[in-house]
Amino acid sequence: MNLPLTISAVIFDMDGLMLDTEPLYKIAWQRAAAECGHPISEDLYSTLIGRSRAEGERILAEAFGRAFSVEAFKGACARCEASAFAENLPAVKPGLESLLAYLDARGLSTAVATSTERSIAEAQLQGLGLWSRFHAVATGDEVINGKPAPDLFLLAAQRLGIEPARCLVLEDSEPGILAAHRAGMRVYCVPDINQPSGEIVALADGVFGSLHEVQSALARPQ
């Protein structure tokens, strides 16, 4: 499975795909919700993965009803996230550095398309020395509709100046895979916390256990 000749860019999701941040967000959101008197179950949290912050808050408000204060949760969440990320810096996913070097050597453009807000995404990528490795970044607060809508990936392609059909997306979440598919892009799935359903697997052009496996597949002679 060599990289198709029609592909000119690779677009990376951030949380769960490049950085092992999902466990930290899970700790923070569950702590914040519990402080507000609305504990988040494992099943409910699984529906938040891959969503923008606004969409996640909407899901919680719908689940908990009128007794749930979004504003109170936002305040608690800001404190809990700051604490969680201060206690544990997110780890870079195995294989990321090697894959980026592989793509650079082949002259391909790279971008990040993340549901995370730009200020947070930039701080994390800068802190880990990854910000300068990408030609463009698109974040959740820069589009009206978050994943699974295609807007975020289309913005990344626009900033790269590359047609969507010439982009390959690397994603871990079901909303992200749906978004990439709806954007008219190829998409490889590298699952993190949630395993994709059969329906989602059918939309992906490949499913891999790690970024190492993605690189091996792209480098394999046809």
Q: What is the pLDDT of residues 23-32, one digit of tens each?
A: 888 888 999 9
Q: What's the confidence (pLDDT) of residue 218? A: 87
The residue-averaged pLDDT of 85-107 equals 90
Show which residues are catalytic: 13
Query: For residue 158, which of 122, 113, 100 has the smallest C-alpha distance?
Result: 113
Residue 151 confidence (pLDDT) above 90: yes
Check whether 90 has a pLDDT greater than 90: no
* CATH pick for 22-87 out of 1.10.150.240, 1.20.272.10, 2.40.10.170, 1.10.3720.10: 1.10.150.240
- In the chain, which residues fall in CATH 3.40.50.1000? 9-20+92-219
Q: Taking Cα atoms as reference points, which of 101, 133, 96 lies closest to residue 212?
A: 96
Mean per-residue pLDDT for 149-163?
A: 98
Q: What is the mean pLDDT of the segment spanning 125-147?
A: 94
pTM above 0.85, yes or no: no
Burial class (CB in 10 A: 0-12, 13-18, 19+), 107: exposed
Tokens of 97: 């550095």
Q: Within the chain, which residue ranges are assigned CATH 1.10.150.240?
A: 22-87
96 band by pLDDT with thresholds 50, 70 and 90: very high
Q: pLDDT, tens digit, for every residue of 46-76?
A: 888 878 788 899 999 999 999 999 999 999 9
pLDDT of residue 1: 46
Instruction: Kindly report which listed range (2-6, 62-66, 128-132, 215-219) carries the lowest average pLDDT score.
Output: 2-6
pLDDT band of residue 4 (cuts 50, 70, 90) is: low
Domain 9-20+92-219 architecture: 3-Layer(aba) Sandwich (3.40)
